[in-house]
């Protein structure tokens, strides 16, 4: 593997948890897009959304993706919205390995019910809205080169590692 490996998928699909472990197994650096965006802005993701708006967040996200695309071999967890726009998505597809961690919404719901991290676009009290957002995003995630069932974290790690060896 010479370029980056990008994990994409809906909020709560385990991109960071899986990414960290995959990086460890492959002895590569792990990068978390949201962390990099927050560091660049000097505030939390929630504060960026609240104070600067989603458009500003997406601009920084796109820049962070650009940097990761030229960073050589590494493992990156992207935010749930990073693979939706044409530019960052196509940059990721051409520069590295893209893997969609596909997790059914009920599993995501259970995971995020017990989560303390604040996600500005996830509203646990609006199951219909979350279903609509989930359905709307699926076709974009499906454009990733690989799809891995992310329901079981251990199995996902194994499968992602195997994918990197195939190429």
Stretch that binds ligand S3P, among 67-75, 88-96, 119-127, 147-155 (CB under 6 A): 119-127
Nearer of residues 104 and 120 to ligand S3P, judged by Cβ: 120
Q: Is 11 in the site for ligand S3P (CB under 6 A)?
A: yes
> Of residues 93, 105, 121, 161, which one binds ligand S3P by CB under 6 A?
121
Q: Using CB under 6 A, count the residues that bind ligand S3P.
A: 10
Say whether 14 counts as a known binding-site residue.
yes
> Of residues 120, 143, 147, 161, which one binds ligand S3P by CB under 6 A?
120
Say whether 15 counts as a known binding-site residue.
yes
Q: Is 17 helix (H, G, I), strand (E, B) or coil?
A: helix
Q: Which residues contact 18 (CB under 8 A, 6 or more apart)?
A: 7, 77, 101, 150, 153, 156, 157, 160
Token pair, residue 160, equals 């992602």
* C-alpha to C-alpha distance for 69 and 5, rounded to whole angstroms: 9
Is residue 160 within 8 A of residue 5, CB to CB? The reply is yes
Say whether 71 counts as a known binding-site residue.
no
Interface ranges with ligand S3P (CB under 6 A): 11, 15, 34, 45, 79-81, 119-121
């Amino acid at each position: 593997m010479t370029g980056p490996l990008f994990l994409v998928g809906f909020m709560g699909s385990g991109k960071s948890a899986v990414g960290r472990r995959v990086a460890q197994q492959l002895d590569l650096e792990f990068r978390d897009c949201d962390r990099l965006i927050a560091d660049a802005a000097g505030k939390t993701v929630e504060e960026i959304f609240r104070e600067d708006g989603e458009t500003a967040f997406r601009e920084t996200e796109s820049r962070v993706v650009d940097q990761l695309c030229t960073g050589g071999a590494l493992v990156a967890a992207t935010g749930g919205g990073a693979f939706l726009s044409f530019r960052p998505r196509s940059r990721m597809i051409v520069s590295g390995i893209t893997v969609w961690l596909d997790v059914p919404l009920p599993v995501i719901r259970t995971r995020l019910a017990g989560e303390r991290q604040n996600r500005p676009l996830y509203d646990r009290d609006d199951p219909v809205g979350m279903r609509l957002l989930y359905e709307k995003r699926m076709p974009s995630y499906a454009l990733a080169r690989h799809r891995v069932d992310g329901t079981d974290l251990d199995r996902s790690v194994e499968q992602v590692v195997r994918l990197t060896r195939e190429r």
